[in-house]
Amino acid sequence: MAKGGVDMYLKGLLRQMLEWHAHAMKGDWFDTWMRGRFLEEWADRARLEQLGRAFAQYEPDDIGRALRVTMDLYPLVRR
């Protein structure tokens, strides 16, 4: 449940915020595809690099680490 919450639920919300950020920076017309498709092509590079570290292995300590990285990403996407 913890891994699913961090890697599925919270990442889904983060993906939505990345889409909003891309639209805010590039205009409503900018194509962010559907459900993160081609994310590496339209998302902000700095945030995308951090996103790669935000997924967890199936270990309690790593799930905690991934949660902290994910939480740190949210305020960055708002800028």
Q: What is the pLDDT of residues 34-53, one digit of tens each?
A: 888 998 999 888 888 888 88
- 41 three-state secondary structure: helix
Residue 67: the pLDDT is 92
Question: What span, in angstroms and rounded, lies between the C-alpha atoms of 62 and 79?
Answer: 27
Q: Which two tokens stand for residue 31?
A: 């194509």
Nearest Cα to Cα of residue 37 among 56, 52, 10, 18: 18
**Percentage, residues of the chain above pLDDT 90:** 24
Measure the CA–CA gap between 49 and 43, rounded to whole angstroms: 10
Confidence class for position 79, pLDDT limits 50, 70, 90: low
Structure tokens at 42: 């339209």
Residue 10: pLDDT band (50, 70, 90) is confident
Residue 23 CB burial class (10 angstroms; 0-12, 13-18, ≥19):
middle
